[in-house]
């Protein structure tokens, strides 16, 4: 049987995960924006290619990523 306290704790934990996710996303966005701002067009292209390859590493085999 699930208690009211367990439900409340779960909701609090979910809210904390959302807050952390939002803050991490904002930090990533700021970091990428700063990198792009101080880089040449060629450096930006190389950076984005490396990011694409990095993210592609998280895709399970058998799936296709179109970028």
1's enclosing H/E stretch is: none
Tell me whether residue 19 is in a domain: yes
66 or 16, greater pLDDT: 16
Q: Identify whether the C-beta of residue 34 lies closer than 8 Å to the C-beta of residue 26.
A: no
Q: What is the pLDDT of residue 46?
A: 92
Q: Which residues contact 47 (CB under 8 A, 6 or more apart)?
A: 35, 36, 39
Tell me whether residue 43 is in a domain: yes
Count of structural domains, the chain: 1
Tell me whether residue 62 is in a domain: no
Judged against a pLDDT cut of 80, whether residue 33 lies above it is answered with yes
Tell me whether residue 32 is in a domain: yes
Q: On the CB side of 5, how many CA atoms lie within 13 Å of its CA? A: 0
């Amino acid at each position: 049987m699930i208690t009211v306290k367990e439900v409340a704790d779960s909701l609090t934990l979910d809210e904390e995960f959302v807050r952390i996710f939002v803050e991490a996303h904002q930090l990533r966005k700021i970091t990428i924006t700063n990198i792009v701002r101080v880089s040449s067009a060629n450096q930006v292209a190389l950076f984005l290619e490396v990011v694409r390859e990095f993210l592609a590493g998280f895709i399970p085999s058998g799936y296709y990523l179109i970028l």
